[in-house]
Structure 1
Amino acid sequence: MNTNLVLENQQIRQDTQLKTLSQYLQQHPQWCQKRLELAELLYSRGRWQQAIEEYYRVLEWQPQLLEARLQLAKILHQLGRESEAIEIYLSALPLSPNIATLHLVTGWVETCRRRPQRAAKKFESAASLEPENVTHWHALGQVYLEKKSPFAALRAFDKALAINPDDIVALGNSYDALLAVGNFREGLRRLKQALNLAPYDFLSLKRMVDHRCHQRLVFGKEEQETQELMQTAMQLAPDNVDAYHSLALHHLARGEWARGVAVIQRFALLHPDNSKSWYYYAQCLYQTGNAKGAAEALLQAYTIYHNHPDIYLALCEIFPDAGRLNQLEPLIEDMLERFPECWSIWARVGQLLVENFQAKERGCCVSAKGPQLQPELAEAWFRHGRVLALAGRYGKALEALEEGWQRLPSQGGYLSSVPAAMWLGEIYQELEDHTTSQHWWTEATQRATELREFNPAIADYWQGKALEVLGNVAGAQQAYRSALRQQLFHPHNGKIKLALARLKCA
Structure 2
Amino acid sequence: MVNDELSALKASFDRAKAFLNAGDPKMAEDLCRKALSQVSNGEPNTQVLLCVALIRQGKSGSAVKRLKHTLRMFPDFAPAHEELGNALLAQNKPEKALACFEKAIDLNPKNTSALITLGQIFKGLGRNEEAQEIYQTVLELDPIQEKLATATQLFYKGNTEEAEKICREALQEKPDDVNGLKLLASIASKMEQKEDAIILLQRAVELKPKFAGAWAELAEALSDTDEFGKALDAAQRVIQLQPNLPFGFMLRGTILGQSGNHEGAIKAYREALKIEPNHIGSNMGLGNTLKTIGDYEESVSAYKKVIEVQPFFAEAYWSLANLKTYQFDQKEITQMEDHIENPEIPDGNKAFLHIALANAKEKENLFDEAWHHFDAGAFMRRKDEVYDSVQTQTTHDALIEVFNKEFINEKRNLGHQSQAPIFIVGLPRSGSTLIEQILASHTQVEGTKELPDLSLLTRKLTKSKPRGIKFPNAALEMNNDEFIEYGESYLTTTKRHRTGSPYFIDKMPNNFANIGFLKLILPNAKIINACRHPLDSCISSYKQLFYKGQSWSYDLFEIGEYYLEYDRMMRHWHNLFPGEIMDFHYESVLEKQEIETKKLLDFCGLEWEEQCLKFYETKRSINTASSEQVRQPIYKGAMYAWKNYESHIGELIETLSPLLNGLNDDAKPQSLRK
- Partner-residue secondary structure (3-state), 2:201: helix
Q: Output one character per residue of 1:431-463: Cα deviation in whole Å (capped at 9) or x when no partner.
A: x34x4399978966764564x63543x336536
**Equivalent residue runs for 1:248-267 within 5 Å:** 248-252=151-155, 255-267=158-170
1:497 counterpart = 2:552: yes
Matches of 2:285 and 2:60, distance apart in 1: 20
Classify 1:311/1:445 alpha carbon distance in 2 versus 1 (closer, same or farther; 3 Å). farther
Whether contact under 8 Å (1:353, 1:362) holds in the other structure is: yes
1:315 counterpart = 2:218: yes
* Matching residue of 1:273: 176
1:436 counterpart = 2:436: no
Matches of 1:380 and 1:188, distance apart in 2: 30
1:426 counterpart = 2:322: yes
Q: Give the helix-richer structure, 1 or 2.
A: 1
1:352 counterpart = 2:243: no
Matches of 1:187 and 1:242, distance apart in 2: 26
- The one-letter code matched in structure 2 to 1:270 is E
CA shift, 1:418, in A, is 0.7
Matches of 2:18 and 2:96, distance apart in 1: 38
Whether contact under 8 Å (1:388, 1:394) holds in the other structure is: yes
TM-score of the pair, normalised by structure 1: 0.56
Matches of 1:205 and 1:439, distance apart in 2: 39
Matches of 1:420 and 1:446, distance apart in 2: 15
Matches of 2:193 and 2:334, distance apart in 1: 34
Classify 1:298/1:443 alpha carbon distance in 2 versus 1 (closer, same or farther; 3 Å). farther
Match of 1:459 among 331, 349, 353: 349
Match of 1:173 among 27, 31, 49: 49
Whether contact under 8 Å (1:295, 1:319) holds in the other structure is: yes
Match of 1:156 among 25, 32, 35: 35
CA shift, 1:421, in A, is 0.6
1:368 counterpart = 2:274: no
- The one-letter code matched in structure 1 to 2:328 is T
Q: Output one character per residue of 1:463-485: Cα deviation in whole Å (capped at 9) or x when no partner.
A: 67547866635444433333348
Whether contact under 8 Å (2:226, 2:259) holds in the other structure is: no
Matches of 1:269 and 1:203, distance apart in 2: 34
Match of 1:480 among 357, 375, 381: 381
- The one-letter code matched in structure 2 to 1:353 is L
Whether contact under 8 Å (1:195, 1:205) holds in the other structure is: no
Matches of 2:188 and 2:351, distance apart in 1: 20
Classify 1:193/1:250 alpha carbon distance in 2 versus 1 (closer, same or farther; 3 Å). farther
**Higher CA-based Rg:** 2
Match of 2:290 among 385, 388, 405: 388
CA shift, 1:364, in A, is 0.2
CA shift, 1:283, in A, is 2.4
- The one-letter code matched in structure 2 to 1:169 is N
- Partner-residue secondary structure (3-state), 2:287: helix
- The one-letter code matched in structure 2 to 1:283 is S
- The one-letter code matched in structure 2 to 1:401 is Y
Whether contact under 8 Å (2:57, 2:345) holds in the other structure is: no
Classify 1:285/1:333 alpha carbon distance in 2 versus 1 (closer, same or farther; 3 Å). closer
Matches of 2:267 and 2:328, distance apart in 1: 28
1:145 counterpart = 2:47: no
Match of 1:227 among 108, 115, 120: 120
- The one-letter code matched in structure 2 to 1:173 is L
Match of 1:341 among 207, 231, 244: 244
Matches of 2:353 and 2:88, distance apart in 1: 21
CA shift, 1:422, in A, is 0.9
- The one-letter code matched in structure 2 to 1:436 is F
Whether contact under 8 Å (2:181, 2:200) holds in the other structure is: yes
Classify 1:337/1:251 alpha carbon distance in 2 versus 1 (closer, same or farther; 3 Å). closer
Q: Output one character per residue of 1:370-409: Cα deviation in whole Å (capped at 9) or x when no partner.
A: 322222445543343233223332221112222232222x
**Equivalent residue runs for 1:323-334 within 5 Å:** 324-325=227-228, 327-334=230-237
Matches of 1:280 and 1:138, distance apart in 2: 31
Matches of 2:380 and 2:218, distance apart in 1: 30
Classify 1:482/1:377 alpha carbon distance in 2 versus 1 (closer, same or farther; 3 Å). same
CA shift, 1:359, in A, is 0.8
Q: Output one character per residue of 1:114-158: Cα deviation in whole Å (capped at 9) or x when no partner.
A: xxxxxxxxxxxxx65464xx5x46522333225536334443345
**What is the aligned residue count?**
355
- The one-letter code matched in structure 1 to 2:304 is E
CA shift, 1:420, in A, is 0.6
Classify 1:425/1:265 alpha carbon distance in 2 versus 1 (closer, same or farther; 3 Å). same
CA shift, 1:240, in A, is 7.6
Classify 1:255/1:176 alpha carbon distance in 2 versus 1 (closer, same or farther; 3 Å). closer
Classify 1:212/1:129 alpha carbon distance in 2 versus 1 (closer, same or farther; 3 Å). closer
Matches of 1:266 and 1:259, distance apart in 2: 11
* Matching residue of 1:296: 199
- Partner-residue secondary structure (3-state), 2:383: helix
- Partner-residue secondary structure (3-state), 2:294: coil
- Partner-residue secondary structure (3-state), 1:375: coil
Matches of 2:63 and 2:79, distance apart in 1: 17
Classify 1:168/1:221 alpha carbon distance in 2 versus 1 (closer, same or farther; 3 Å). closer
Whether contact under 8 Å (1:141, 1:157) holds in the other structure is: no
* Matching residue of 1:39: none
- Partner-residue secondary structure (3-state), 2:344: coil
Classify 1:368/1:130 alpha carbon distance in 2 versus 1 (closer, same or farther; 3 Å). closer
CA shift, 1:367, in A, is 0.2
- The one-letter code matched in structure 1 to 2:182 is Y
Match of 1:401 among 299, 303, 318: 303
Matches of 2:172 and 2:240, distance apart in 1: 32
Q: Which runs of 5+ in 1 are unaligned?
A: 1-126
- The one-letter code matched in structure 2 to 1:139 is K
Matches of 1:479 and 1:365, distance apart in 2: 35
- The one-letter code matched in structure 1 to 2:552 is K
Matches of 1:216 and 1:248, distance apart in 2: 23
Classify 1:153/1:446 alpha carbon distance in 2 versus 1 (closer, same or farther; 3 Å). closer
Q: Output one character per residue of 1:8-36: Cα deviation in whole Å (capped at 9) or x when no partner.
A: xxxxxxxxxxxxxxxxxxxxxxxxxxxxx
- The one-letter code matched in structure 2 to 1:315 is L
- The one-letter code matched in structure 2 to 1:155 is K
Q: CA RMSD in A?
A: 4.5
Matches of 2:137 and 2:80, distance apart in 1: 13
Classify 1:144/1:426 alpha carbon distance in 2 versus 1 (closer, same or farther; 3 Å). same
- The one-letter code matched in structure 2 to 1:394 is Y
CA shift, 1:424, in A, is 1.2
Q: Output one character per residue of 1:308-339: Cα deviation in whole Å (capped at 9) or x when no partner.
A: 43223323433333454453243344433443
Matches of 1:480 and 1:144, distance apart in 2: 32
- Partner-residue secondary structure (3-state), 1:483: coil
Whether contact under 8 Å (2:51, 2:67) holds in the other structure is: yes
CA shift, 1:233, in A, is 9.1
